Amino acid sequence: MKIIREILSPLIAVLAAFIVGGIIVWLIGDNPFNTFYLLLSNSFGSLKDVGYTLSYATPLIFTGLAVAVAFRCGLLNIGAEGQLYVAAFATAWVGIMFGGTVVNIFGKEENWSLMSLPAIILVPLCILTAIVAGGIWGMIPGILKAKFGSHEVINTIMLNFIAIALVSYLTQYYYKIPGDAILQTAEIGEAAQIPRISQFIPGMPDFVPLSIAFLIAILMCVLVYIFLWKTKWGYELRAVGENPSAAEYGGISPQKQIIIAMTISGALAGMVAIGEVLGYRHRYYDGFSAEWGFLGIAVALLGRNHPLGVFIAALFFAVLQRGEIFVDAFTPKISKDIGWVLQAIIILFVACLQMYSKTTRTKGKI
């Protein structure tokens, strides 16, 4: 019964959101069936469409997992956006400093790197950097919560502003190529770049940004599931999320689990840099995130904070993001904002259903 409820709840939320969204489209004066056809049908029609959809899903899987791990410990990580920004810059910095990067400045070449490492060392080092940088940025609000009782929502929101401003400053004044009108770092060394999926699948265009980061995201879904449900550490983390007082009575330290949960959450959010820096842009680009840190909250809610649910929810939101482009281009009155409207309505329905379910269980116990 519980499994059926866990599956039906997100489906009901999505269906209700599309009904409400269809009414909104109809009131505006457009055809809801044509709008939703454009929104949903252009994500898997060709290898190019599939590649773009999975590429959009990749960062959402990481941020959805990040939020889900924090949720399981009774925490709300609003700071995935800042964590992925810090991780992206740190990853680009390692790729520049140890990738043999040569920069052309006003016709003169300069070597910006400290040394040139081979790909077999540099790629794992860059991935580890993304994980560590995101983890450290996530650990900060965890420590503040555990040691001083400072609420993680306020801390993570404030740290978002600090993170984005800090890496923008460092990019602008230290790692941007002079004369470049775009706020971005120099390109990472070729040895730091990871391959795109198009190199392994004939027929997929080379310009599709889908990289092996998607495979790493799938791997992380598996590892997060094993950690949360098959290990002692995951059990302790979930126990604190269910009832901190009971967990402490059983010998589990809530303070320790809070720090661990926020660190893991930040590390997962930081892994967005693997695809964006190492696989796609090959540099840190200011404003590269399409608010993935915040969308991760919606992904985790719709996915019921379960790795499999997060994966499916990330694919669904990626379909909406892909379809927005075609809705904007081929409908007379509806813009791509319909995707954001649907996402917002889905979140509202999911929250309402969870509140209803919680209230029903409480009355049943009474």
Q: Are 288 and 281 in contact (CB under 8 A)?
A: yes
Assign 338 to helix, strand or coil. Answer: helix
DSSP state for residue 251 in the 8-state scheme: T
Spell out the per-residue pLDDT of the chain, length 366, in tens. Answer: 566 666 777 888 889 889 999 999 999 998 999 999 988 888 888 899 999 999 999 999 999 999 999 999 999 999 999 999 999 999 999 999 999 888 988 888 888 998 999 999 999 999 999 999 999 999 999 999 999 999 999 999 999 999 999 999 999 999 999 989 999 999 999 999 999 999 999 989 999 999 999 999 999 999 999 999 999 999 999 999 999 999 999 999 999 999 999 999 999 999 999 999 999 999 999 999 999 999 999 999 999 999 999 999 999 999 999 998 899 888 888 888 888 888 888 888 887 877 766 665 555 554
- CA–CA gap between residue 218 and residue 268 (Å, rounded): 12
In the block, tokens 């098959």 appear at 230
Q: Which residues contact 164 (CB under 8 A, 6 or more apart)?
A: 81, 82, 85
**38 Ramachandran zone, left/alpha/beta (phi>0; psi -120 to 50):** alpha
Q: Are 188 and 99 in contact (CB under 8 A)?
A: yes
What are the structural domains of the chain? 2-26+46-365 (1.10.3470)
Q: Which residues contact 40 (CB under 8 A, 6 or more apart)?
A: 319, 323
- CA–CA gap between residue 219 and residue 232 (Å, rounded): 20
- CA–CA gap between residue 59 and residue 289 (Å, rounded): 9
The structure's pTM equals 0.94
pLDDT on residue 357: 66
DSSP string, 335-355: -THHHHHHHHHHHHHHHHHHH
**Residues pairing with 248 in the sheet:** none
DSSP string, 218-240: HHHHHHHHHHHHHSHHHHHHHHH
pLDDT on residue 359: 63
pLDDT on residue 8: 78
Q: Are 85 and 163 in contact (CB under 8 A)?
A: yes
Q: Are 79 and 66 in contact (CB under 8 A)?
A: no
pLDDT on residue 252: 96
pLDDT on residue 42: 85
pLDDT on residue 2: 63
- CA-angle at 160, arms to 154 and 163, nearest 5°: 135
Q: Which of 52, 23, 177, 160 is nearest to 110 (CA)?
A: 177
Q: Are 86 and 137 in contact (CB under 8 A)?
A: yes
pLDDT on residue 251: 94
Q: Which of 194, 155, 167, 165 is nearest to 87 (CA)?
A: 167
Q: Are 155 and 141 in contact (CB under 8 A)?
A: yes
Encoded amino acid at 353, one letter = L
pLDDT on residue 349: 86
Buried/exposed code over 329-357 (b: 16+ C-beta within 10 A; e: otherwise): eebeebebebbebbbebbbebbeebeeee
